[in-house]
Structure 1
Amino acid sequence: MVGLFKYPKRELRKLLKKGEYDKAIALGKSLESEYSEDHDFMFIMGSIFFIVDDAKKALPYFEKAFQLDKKDIETLTLKTNVHLALQQKAEAIDCCERIIDLDPKNSEAQELLDKLESL
């Protein structure tokens, strides 16, 4: 039973690794209602859209993934990049501050925060 439950996410990852983004998006969309409360699924879908340079579509997935796991620095990092791509400076600053709250030694987030605040 457990293998069947994990299979769709595994398939999404395989398609992502192969660069078959259109197929991954189609599969993800077909599974979305079933996995809407699954952090990993939301993270994968956000990543797919970010890879294909569709930050606007990636953002809701990263936001949902973050709601499901408020301590996931990787999600916050990608969410920061999406906000930067969408030229949403205040939101990117907020993400950097959240990363630093979770990981005070995160120099990458601190450097980006300093840079954004100086603009």
Structure 2
Amino acid sequence: MIERINLAIIASDYKLALHLCDSAIENQHISAELFYKQSIAYRSVYHYKKAYKSIGNALDLNPDNINIRVEFGKVCYALDMLNSADSVFSEIFKFDTTNYISGIYLTRIYIKKKEFDKAFSVFKTLSEMDSLNNYLFRQMGICKIKDKKSKKAIPCFQRAIEIDSTDIKSYEYLSMIYQALEEYDRALSLLNKAIQIESLNSGLYFEIGELHYSRNHHYK
């Protein structure tokens, strides 16, 4: 039965997965794994309260299973129970920093709670394991901007671009920082490089127009 449920979940046929879960429960084939799969199916169709009940049952039967604990954290996050989700993922990540999904959820929680320094710290830990992931470095830069430490964001975005020279968002963020620092030539150079990559991106041309306006206003 579990194998059939797994196949249904893989195929995104959550209605079938839930039907199979209900059938198994009715026939007393109860296990932590069954409730865990039921939670995944409920969460996937946005029935978070039902997922919470299912994963709670799974935890009662197997409280030490990492996958079950991670699923519990995901459901808590979906229900906006940020402190509970924080507690779950922090405990997992503290003892296993290679648990990538826990780290990513922690960053989302900290960003929602506006604890940008904590989010940066987790992104940094993840980047030490996954040093060629430009997304992580870009997010580190965004955390520094939100924490009002824009200058410290510069090397983060530079590293993101080193890893992926087509990372348009990092060009834009860097340009924005240099514009705020009134280093207009650098800001313009970055936007021009971005346009060479995405010549049909109308937003980039708008940003260049805004930059020229700011620079001309500055030098009046």
> Shorter chain as normaliser: what TM range?
0.7 to 0.9
By relative contact order (CA 8 Å, sep 6+), the higher-ranking structure is 1
* Aligned mates of 1:55, 1:104 — CA distance in 2: 27
Alpha-carbon distance between aligned partners in 2 of 1:39 and 1:73, rounded to the nearest angstrom: 11
Alignment map for 1:70-109 (pairs within 5 Å) = 70-109=165-204
| Alignment check: 8 A CA contact 2:123 2:137 kept | no
1:62 aligns with 2:157: yes
- 1:51 is matched with 146
Would the aligned equivalents of 2:100 and 2:126 in 1 still touch at CA under 8 Å?
A: no
The percent identity for this pair of structures is: 24
Aligned residues: 117
Could you tell me which runs of 5 or more consecutive residues in structure 2 were left unpaired when the two chains were aligned: 1-97
CA distance in 2, matches of 1:30, 1:103: 31
Which shifted more, 73-82 or 6-15? 6-15
Contact 1:9 1:41 survives alignment (8 Å) = no
1:10 matches 2:111 = no
1:111 maps to a residue whose letter is F
Query: Is contact 1:55–1:86 with CA below 8 Å preserved after alignment?
Result: no
Deviations 1:36-68 (A, max 9, x none): 432111011000001122110011000000111
Q: What residue number does 1:24 align with?
A: 119
Using the size of structure 2 for normalisation, the TM-score is 0.47
What is the CA-CA distance between 1:117 and the residue it aligns to? 4.6
- Say which one has the larger Rg: 2
Which runs of 5 or more structure 1 residues have no equivalent in the other structure?
A: none
Structure 1's consecutive aligned runs of 4 or more residues displaced over 6 angstroms after TM superposition are none
Does residue 42 (structure 1) correspond to residue 105 (structure 2)? The answer is: no
Q: Please, which moves more after superposition, 94-103 or 54-63?
A: 94-103
